[in-house]
Amino acid sequence: MHTVVVGTSGVTASDVLAVARADARVELSEEARAALAAARGVVEALAAKPEPVYGVSTGFGALATRHISQELRTRLQRNIVRSHAAGMGPRVEREVVRALMFLRLKTVCSGRTGVRPEVAQTMADLLNAGITPVVHEYGSLGCSGDLAPLSHCALALMGEGDAEDRDGAIRPAAELLAEHGIAPVELREKEGLALLNGTDGMLGMLIMALADLETLYKSADVTAALSLEALLGTDKVLAPELHTIRPHPGQGASAANMLAVLKGSGLTGHHQDDAPRVQDAYSVRCAPQVAGAGRDTLAHARLVAERELASAVDNPVVLPDGRVESNGNFHGAPVAYVLDFLAIAAADLASIAERRTDRLLDKNRSHGLPPFLADDAGVDSGLMIAQYTQAALVSEMKRLAVPASADSIPSSAMQEDHVSMGWSAARKLRTAVDNLTRVLAIELYAATRAVELREGLTPAPASRAAITALRAAGSEGPGPDRYLAPDLAAADAFVRAGSLVASVETVTGPLA
């Protein structure tokens, strides 16, 4: 099994994906253990002093003015976890919780939080045992960290609350810890606060969305190329010299991908022989511009994610010179903005894909294809309602594109009077990514059927490879009406697994 070693200087996106999605084993480096011990020494020295220090010997948030006596501090740390584990709603996905736990461990190991080495080791032990705390949909405002989600994770470290075992069964955390020989932690000064005060949930979801969207943007280039081919469009608009004069990197990459897929096609430009068109519709001609803008948005979001991965987000923090200082680094605005930005780009990509699908189904705009790509139009409805499903998905994505980060509701008796709503931005982006996958699957299904209906014309070798692989995956080709949902589900699974891109790359080589 792959092992991820956590040091003091952050981790990579690949590390997060390995732990969250592939159950990679987690180990602490000796460097991290030394940094944890050194920072803990600073916290313990401050805890012994009579002067109050926020998070060490005071209450929290609006209650920070109360100095907490030494005999009550263990109770204080336990209480903050219990009281903040106030989430409600459906359970959050296992991969999200694992990313959340791993990223919190990453910050703890930075040596900036003052947490004891044994607490960090217990966090790693839970991940390695496949114990996943139950975290709920609602409870984070994306400021002072993802408080409620992280609290439910910290609760499991204490042997309280519920958790999921490796087989997916929900059981008391105390039972699961005991089965794996893991001793529950008793939190000391600052530790409860340090386990809750991070942007780890929203960051984990951003990293996973970036990985999924990277594949989906390549998939969108393929489906757009297939639609162009099915509509007998021209590939001249994809010429590199046209994109060089508007040098957005994403646009150039998308155009190059489409051109690679269409290489050797006997369908592109065919209309010029007998039914001239001056230009293709925007949804076809401007595909690289729209998908390219989304690709550039991905690049910006990836930069933000990399910076956040290199960060130690906590309040207060232990600085290299030994000071323990309060700060506002837990505010989720940088991450929240790009999460919202990605949802906007995804909605627009879905929107243009739906317009191409609609054009394929309309006999007045499809340049000779049968109505709704039906076998016997009138007796058969063909893909009419597949486009309805696609339209419903796109409509929802437009609603999900409304920014969460533009909202703020004050909390904690007005101490936390401006929040990021980054967790909410991340949650809706996950739904948007799921829906985009389905939208592209429907375009793929329609475009491949339309290409196959162009009798006597030979599609590009890459197109043939995609069609062959899709049919082998259980998504059938043209014919009389049949139960359509299984075909669409097979197309969805084909796109979701990255199989569309992989099938095309057997001909084109790696796409950009």
Write the single-letter amino acid at 302: R
DSSP 63: G
Q: Which residues contact 256 (CB under 8 A, 6 or more apart)?
A: 238, 240, 243, 512
Write the single-letter amino acid at 214: E
Which of 146, 497, 193 has its CA nearest to residue 339?
146
Query: Alpha helices of 180-269 — where are they, by DSSP H?
Result: 191-196, 200-230, 240-244, 249-262
Q: Dmax over Cα atoms in the chain, in whole Å? A: 90
Question: What CA–CA distance (Å, rounded) separates 473 from 185?
Answer: 48
Which of 440, 362, 448, 444 has its CA nearest to residue 394?
440
Catalytic residue (choose from 54, 138, 388, 483): 54
Cα 326–Cα 332–Cα 333 angle in degrees, nearest 5: 115
The answer to whether residues 507 and 467 touch, using CB atoms and an 8 Å cutoff, is no
The answer to whether residues 339 and 429 touch, using CB atoms and an 8 Å cutoff, is yes
Q: Which residues pair with 138 in a beta bridge?
A: 88
DSSP 3: E
Question: What CA–CA distance (Å, rounded) separates 307 from 10?
Answer: 10
Q: Which residues contact 91 (CB under 8 A, 6 or more apart)?
A: 134, 135, 136, 137
Does the annotation count 337 as an active-site position? Answer: no
Listing DSSP states for 316-385 in one string gives: SEE-TTS-EE---TT--HHHHHHHHHHHHHHHHHHHHHHHHHHHHH-TTTTTSPPGGG-SSBTTB-TTHH
The answer to whether residues 228 and 268 touch, using CB atoms and an 8 Å cutoff, is yes
Bond preceding residue 316 cis, omega within 30 of 0: yes
DSSP 478: S
3-state secondary structure of 4: strand
Q: Which residues contact 137 (CB under 8 A, 6 or more apart)?
A: 87, 88, 89, 90, 91, 92, 427
Question: What CA–CA distance (Å, rounded) separates 28 from 117?
Answer: 9
Report the catalytic residues. Answer: 54
